[in-house]
Structure 1
Amino acid sequence: MEAVTNILTQIQSIVWGPPTLILLIGTGLYFTIRLHLLQIIKLPRAMKAIFEKEEGAGDVSAFGSLCTTLAATIGTGSIVGVATALRIGGPGAMFWMWVSAFVGMATKYAEGLLAVKYRSLDENGHIAGGPMYYIQNGLGEKWIWLAKMFALFGSITALLGCGTFPQVNAITESVHDSFGTPVWISGLIITIAVAAVILGGIGSISKVAEFVVPFMAGFYIFGSLIIIILNREMIPQTFSNIFYSAFHPTAMLGGAAGTGIISVMTSMRTGVARGVYTNEAGLGSSPIVIAAAKSNSCVRQGLIAMTSVFFTTIITCTMTGIVILTSGMLNSTDLSGSPLANAAYNSSLPAGIGTYLITIGIIFFSFTTIIGWSYYGERCMVYLTNSVKCIRPFKAAYLIAIALAPFLSLEPIWLLADITNALMAFPNLIGLLGLRNIVIDETHTFFHQRTPHTAISLEKSESESETVICNG
């Protein structure tokens, strides 16, 4: 197992090297500039659009689509991932998470817009969309190899990366540590609960997400705010440390980190990687469910899509990071991951309450990520096989992976998740840059047209699939 871990570590360092970081940040920065800071200027409109009712072609409501997106993104990365990033990259990692989220909002907007513009109908009449469809239908048939590459990596990520192993492992370990529940019992309960939801398809997944996501996010944010208020005297110094550490080598106290200096590059790489892991901007996963939204406007759905990055990283992850940093546990202990988060939350709350808050947060965050990624993987497999007959076998394999997850080692699981994330990002980002003018033109037309925005229509694509076209 150690040999496998070493190999995965080397691969991870390559796929998350400077080229990937430059491509991720560069793509988001390009859209930020060309769209004139749309993620700031149009954020109020995007927030308003979340609660507006709009009918159109699609399988779920726009709000349901957003909740499903958040369900898949607000996972263990929002708690365990942030704590790990701060341990590895120091306080400065928090700054680089914000940077990745800021430019990532523009990237996610572009993904959402293209997802609705180039979505198709499968043989059952259900919406099929995502990077594989906007690559094929937008860039043309000669790019099908790139679309298939994305779908392949997306399927692997769902089965072996973000969707199953890290999430299930996080739940079972957290529940075992907090309540003493045997790992196999937790794993069995998770498998049964996931089966009950995903066998009902995207409609069932979105309904669960609409109920669970607002509750779980509100519960976690409320508890975090209480701790931040209690530690308010430390907030100015905390933000000072974040900004200073982002640009200067940081000497950490506390056992594991006290062995040397955390470099600026380590802080940047860790912060960006964790930021992308939590909000998935640039990975291309979210557009798969964004495409299923009932919407008459690809631009409007793009605006709603970009709010997921704001809610996930700017709000939820920031809450975790500020609690950990204001608690002082990062410098006074050698803890990392979930134990670090537990210690930070327990340091300001009555004994045990912090542990329950973290445990409940991990349970809900991870469970919703599992059900969200099942849909992503399913749609990728449908594209690869060009048939909906693969859905049942895929769901069976997905449930088997969930059942096995509690008994696997955690370190290689996280490494594998990081690697598959990066492999998804490359074809998606190439597609986004190749269709950049479409994104800019659609945005300009929507915000500057003098006539009412026209509805989408269904037209046959060159591949004879039904393609939903966004006019104006």
Structure 2
Amino acid sequence: MKALEEFFIAFSNAAWGMPLLILLMGGGFFFMLYSGFLPFRYLGHAINVLRGKYDDPNDPGDINHFEALSSALAATVGMGNISGVAVAIALGGPGVLFWMWVSAFVGMATKFFTCTLAVMYRGRDSVGHLEGGPMYVITEGLGKKWKPLAAFFAIAGLFGTLPIFQANQLTQVIREVVLIPNGIATTNTFFWNLGIGLTLVVITSMVIFGGIKRIGHVAGKMVPGMVVLYMLAVFYIMAMNYVSIPAAFALIFEDAFSANAVLGGAVGAIIIAGARRAAFSNEAGIGTASMMHGAAKTDEPIREGLVAMLGPFIDTLVVCTLTGLAIILTNAWQTSDGNGVSMTAHAFNTSMPGIGSYVLVVCVLIFAFTSLFSYSYYGTKCFGFLFGAKYKHYYNYFYVATIVFGAVASITAVIALIDGMYAMMAIPTMVSALLLSPKVMRAARDYFRRMREFREEQVEKERLQA
């Protein structure tokens, strides 16, 4: 097991080198400039699309805009926001949070391009069902000769979307916050971890074997509530430590460029650490969210791109920032011996003694389960692309079995494996998006021209009626 863990770490570190950082961050900056900062200029229109103002039940697809975003957020707003941020701060110091913000800003532009393409170049699976995602963007947009690149994404996606990180951290928080302090479990953790893992298998199976429509319905109900609950909890922590808020932001900016605390003082290393955790958090440029948004009921690709770009804003700029502030304000990053979710639990308990860790447990349960539900959909799409849609349901059996592995494995091995596979998924996603970006901008100009003409017609009708 130790040798396997070391292999995963070496693989992850090699994958997340400077070339990938340039592809993700540099590609995101290119999208931002090339689009003329479109994600920020059309935020209002994106919110109207999300509210269902332009929904048409007869449009092709499986789920509406809100369910598509909620399902994508169910995967991204998860353990990456709670324990992933804690891991990042433990490894890279508070300055990592700044580079997560930078990644989120450029990630909004990346999401707009990749998810617009996911609808623009939807394809048919082997049974004729309409599907979206990077593998179909590649084969439909770039041509069949690019299919090996699409297969490369799908193979990486089989492992990158496994639920092992969520299962690992959910098991840890239940064991360390609920079971051990109350004398229910002992420090002999393997059998308790195994029992928790098997319980997660049962609960997850009840949802994921129902398919994308059930996943979308469940996510649409749970995601808004989980974000609000978590925000209220952190706002309370901020209120209890309001005097320290200016100093916390000052520390984030100072550490982002000095990187004195960790990683040998290498600013480049701290940027990579921030980009890795941001990618794990909001998945901009990775390609998973494209698969979910590709299932949206719409025949206007630009609309889905606009909805998708809200993801990094909600996920990283809001939720990850709240987690980071809770950890920094309570000084948990220096006083806690734990890593991942244990550090976040320490921060909550510092400001809310006795109940803080239990509040976090509730949030973690919702965050982790919605992620567990949504990630299965990504894996089945990758499996169906590689082996045929009629066999894709078999992937779910493999998926739920790995929940047990995640529950008993070390967090180091789990993070390294997922990070490495995310890096592999980013390569075909970003390459195809960069090559097809002119098609996106051509469609965007046409879409917004039609929207202007529509508004002008509405104004003229109102004037004539008056």
TM over 0.5: yes
Alignment correspondent of 2:463: none
Alignment correspondent of 1:369: 371
Alignment correspondent of 1:384: 386
Counterpart contact for 2:86–2:344, Cα < 8 Å: yes
How many Å apart are 1:155 and its aligned residue? Answer: 1.3
How many Å apart are 1:233 and its aligned residue? Answer: 1.0
Counterpart contact for 2:123–2:140, Cα < 8 Å: no
In structure 2, the CA distance between the partners of 1:400 and 1:335, relative to structure 1 (3 Å rule), is closer
**Where do 1:28-427 residues align within 5 Å?**
28-53=28-53, 54-55=55-56, 56-158=59-161, 163-180=162-179, 182-251=192-261, 261-349=264-352, 351-385=353-387, 387-427=388-428
Unmatched 5+ stretches in structure 2: 180-184, 186-191, 456-466
Instruction: Count residues with an aligned counterpart.
Output: 440
Deviates more, 1:179-188 or 1:103-112: 179-188
Report Cα offsets for 1:100-125 as digits up to 9, x if no partner. Answer: 00000000011110011111233555
Deviates more, 1:309-318 or 1:52-61: 52-61
How many Å apart are 1:420 and its aligned residue? Answer: 0.5
Letter matched to residue 296 of structure 2? A
How many Å apart are 1:245 and its aligned residue? Answer: 1.1
Q: How far apart, in 2, do the equivalents of 1:79 and 1:265 lie?
A: 24
Alignment correspondent of 1:3: 3
Q: How far apart, in 1, do the equivalents of 2:308 and 2:409 lie?
A: 34
Letter matched to residue 245 of structure 2? I
Alignment correspondent of 1:13: 13
Letter matched to residue 195 of structure 2? I
RMSD: 1.7
State the percentage of identical aligned residues: 35
Counterpart contact for 1:59–1:126, Cα < 8 Å: no
In structure 2, the CA distance between the partners of 1:345 and 1:191, relative to structure 1 (3 Å rule), is same
Q: How far apart, in 2, do the equivalents of 1:334 and 1:169 lie?
A: 18
Alignment correspondent of 2:442: 441
Report Cα offsets for 1:387-444 as digits up to 9, x if no partner. Answer: 2221222111112222343222322111101100101000111101110101111112
How many Å apart are 1:5 and its aligned residue? Answer: 2.3
State the TM-score, normalizing by the size of structure 1. 0.90
Report Cα offsets for 1:197-236 as digits up to 9, x if no partner. Answer: 1111001100110111111111111111111122111111
Report Cα offsets for 1:233-291 as digits up to 9, x if no partner. Answer: 1111111111111111323xxxxx6xx85431222111111011000000011111101
Letter matched to residue 408 of structure 1? A
Counterpart contact for 1:89–1:262, Cα < 8 Å: no
Alignment correspondent of 1:458: none
Q: How far apart, in 1, do the equivalents of 2:60 and 2:200 lie?
A: 33
How many Å apart are 1:367 and its aligned residue? Answer: 1.3
Counterpart contact for 1:245–1:264, Cα < 8 Å: no
How many Å apart are 1:62 and its aligned residue? Answer: 1.1
Deviation above 6 Å: which 4+ runs of structure 1? none
Counterpart contact for 2:160–2:419, Cα < 8 Å: no
Letter matched to residue 106 of structure 1? A
State the TM-score, normalizing by the size of structure 2. 0.91
3-state secondary structure, aligned to 1:250? coil
